[in-house]
Amino acid sequence: MERREIEIFLTLAEELHFGRTAERLLVSQARVSQTVAKLERRFGVALFERTSRRVALTPVGAALYADVRAGHDRIRKGIAAAVAAGRGVTGTLVVGLEAPAVAELAADVFARFRASHPGVEVGFRETGFTDPLDLLRAGEVDVAVTNAPVDEEGFEEGPEVYREPVVLAVPRRHRLAGRDTVTLADLDGETVFRAGRRAAPYRREPDRTAATLLDLMTMIAAGAGVCPLAAHAADYFARPSLVMVAFEPGSPPVRWALCWRRGQRTARVAALAAAVRG
């Protein structure tokens, strides 16, 4: 089968409609019909059942589709890997993440990167709670997805991966627990925690810093204070003793961005940054 024959067969097997197949491949409907008829004459068997109302694969056509699709995908991946190798984008890229939730929130970015650079093996490491740049500083990861802005010497901040609203974690019986939203002014008189050394998503210095996530959640639940957190905390850290209250619309969001060591923007890191930018 020639390349164009393969493309027409695979597309028709997916669309099961001659008109849509022609539109996708920018060819005439007659070209699609002629190609299918040619393949069926060559193989000596019908690949599609065709009536005035429907198009369907025959058992032989379905088996051929499975084999040809798998081979076609391998060829495409092989070509993409060769192109990537020619550009120097191969090897392993280790990404530091502050929490498993970050990987889920950035899943589209990593899927896009893997599709564009199949020659790169992507690995993940969870960074420290109190120091999200610890593994990056030690050279154990190539790039990290961390809170922005990154203002520590020796690091470069890359493109923003995503942003999300801020919520305030409070004890269930707290005076703010029943509110629909809160403001920065509502923090007056409260003991405010910060999760480790993360950039604060609000314009106020914290009163206390928690060493671990368990430490933070336990102290808040016990009534020791409150803590602004990224909105995904409401899903991942929900518990009966805590309430997550949204900040009023227009409040500064939590920004997550790529970060790498200064002077260590490798071809793989640059490729990931390009995937983030879309």
Q: Domain ranges for the chain, please list them.
A: 3-86, 91-162+255-277, 166-252
* Tokens, residue 243: 């309430």
Work out the pLDDT band at 86, boundaries 50, 70, 90: low
Q: Which among 12-16, 125-129, 191-195, 215-219 has the top mean pLDDT? A: 12-16
Three-state DSSP class for 14?
Answer: helix
CATH 3.30.1490.190 assigned to 166-252? no
Q: Which among 61-65, 106-110, 201-205 has the top mean pLDDT? A: 61-65
> Could you read off the pLDDT of 153-175 as tens digits, one per residue?
999 999 999 999 999 999 999 99
Three-state DSSP class for 270?
Answer: helix
Extended strands (E) in 165-219: 166-171, 181-182, 193-195, 208-210
Torsion angles phi and psi, residue 259, rounded to 5: -150, 140
Q: Are the CB atoms for 250 and 181 separated by under 8 Å?
A: no
CA–CA gap between residue 96 and residue 142 (Å, rounded): 8
Q: May I ask the CATH class of domain 3-86?
A: mainly alpha
CA–CA gap between residue 203 and residue 225 (Å, rounded): 17
Question: What are the b/e assignments for 30-62, b being 16+ CB within 10 Å?
Answer: eebbebbeebbeeeeeebbeeeeeebebeeebe
Average pLDDT over residues 79-106: 79
> Could you read off the pLDDT of 21-69 as tens digits, one per residue?
999 999 999 999 999 999 999 999 999 999 988 999 999 999 999 999 9
CA–CA gap between residue 166 and residue 84 (Å, rounded): 39
Q: Give 93-119 as a DSSP string.
A: EEEEESSHHHHHHTHHHHHHHHHH-TT
pTM: 0.64
Residue 141, judged by CB atoms within 10 A of its CB (0-12, 13-18, 19+), counts as: buried
> Could you read off the pLDDT of 264-277 as tens digits, one per residue?
998 899 999 999 98
Least confident of 81-95, 164-178, 252-266: 81-95
Cα atoms found within 13 Å of the Cα of residue 135, Cβ hemisphere only: 20
Residue 267, judged by CB atoms within 10 A of its CB (0-12, 13-18, 19+), counts as: middle
For the domain spanning 91-162+255-277, the CATH number is 3.40.190.10
* Distance (Å) of CA 134 to CA 74, 115, 211: 38, 29, 14
What's the pLDDT score for residue 205? 56
Q: What is the mean pLDDT of the chain?
A: 88
* Distance (Å) of CA 2 to CA 20, 39, 151, 155, 247: 21, 10, 56, 51, 59
What's the pLDDT score for residue 203? 47
Percent of the chain with pLDDT over 70: 92
Work out the pLDDT band at 129, boundaries 50, 70, 90: confident
Residue 175, judged by CB atoms within 10 A of its CB (0-12, 13-18, 19+), counts as: exposed
- Asked if the domains 3-86 and 91-162+255-277 are classified in one and the same CATH topology, the answer is no
CA–CA gap between residue 22 and residue 260 (Å, rounded): 46
What's the pLDDT score for residue 56? 95
Query: Beta partners for 257?
Result: 146, 160
Nearest to 77 by CA among 123, 25, 119: 119
